[in-house]
Amino acid sequence: MGGPASKHTIEVRPDAVIKQYRSSDHGQPEREWRALELLNEYAPGLAPTPVTADLEADPPTVVMSRLGGAAVHGPITGQLADALAEAVTRVQQAIPQRVLERVPDRAGHPIELLGMVRSWCATALPSDEDPAVADALREARSWVERPMVEELLARPGTPVFGTGDGNLANYLWDGTAIRVLDFEYSGRSDRAFELAEVVEHISVWRNDHSGMTAVLEKLELTAEEAARLTECRRLLTLYWLLRTRGDTQAAQARRMLALL
């Protein structure tokens, strides 16, 4: 999901990117290096190529190749939607299950996030300016406390490799293909939660009021995955509703009400 403040510094060179980490509270340097090595082996070309790492340095440092392209922006339709669907699927499914089983869980589990938003919901103040925000908070409080929500999120979903951050800026588009950046919170996850992480990230809805609807339409989900995705999308939408203010929060409130 990522936070509001950057926890790393980046030096961009003509053929390489040097990333230094100011925070290692979630094992960010190790997670990033592991992801780069795994994706370089099983999905070459999808992510930066790992060059070198000094994980014991102060600050820890990872050097990777520099990719071409620019961050995705504008309507996500047509060829771009196809490329995003392909990249999201490839990053999740390229690593063989026998290897994925040995990868640590991503930072942030659905149950952890549920506990966080439950705590925030309990203290969130209703908005006097936009009735939709007050309505969304009231409905969300009711939803988030349902035992069936926790039961569903606690079940294991379809195992995949997760980037741990759905920020649209992490997807580079060169007009032909998508490449993926930023694996600080990556690890073993489940398909529905990772898809929700991507499609409900605040950056997606700020970019295009249609979000990634066209991307989701290209993905085939089992009935179980679809049911889990619905709850995970609600969870991530509520997360961003509680973290935003003003017009952005009002838009999130309308999304929350629609998903509920």
| Domain positions in the chain | 75-259
75-259 CATH fold: Aminoglycoside 3'-phosphotransferase; Chain: A, domain 2 (3.90.1200)
Residue 3 pLDDT > 60, yes or no?
no
- Global pTM exceeds 0.85: yes
50-97: per-residue pLDDT in tens?
Answer: 999 999 999 999 999 999 999 999 999 999 999 999 999 999 999 999
pLDDT band at 184; cut points 50, 70, 90: very high
The CA distance from 95 to 144, in Å, is 33
> In this prediction, what percent of the chain has a pLDDT beyond 90?
90
Distance, CA of 181 to CA of 36 (rounded, Å):
9
What is the reported pLDDT for 4? 45
Distance of CA 166 to the CA centre of its chain: 3
Closest CA to 192 of 81, 88, 77, 59: 88
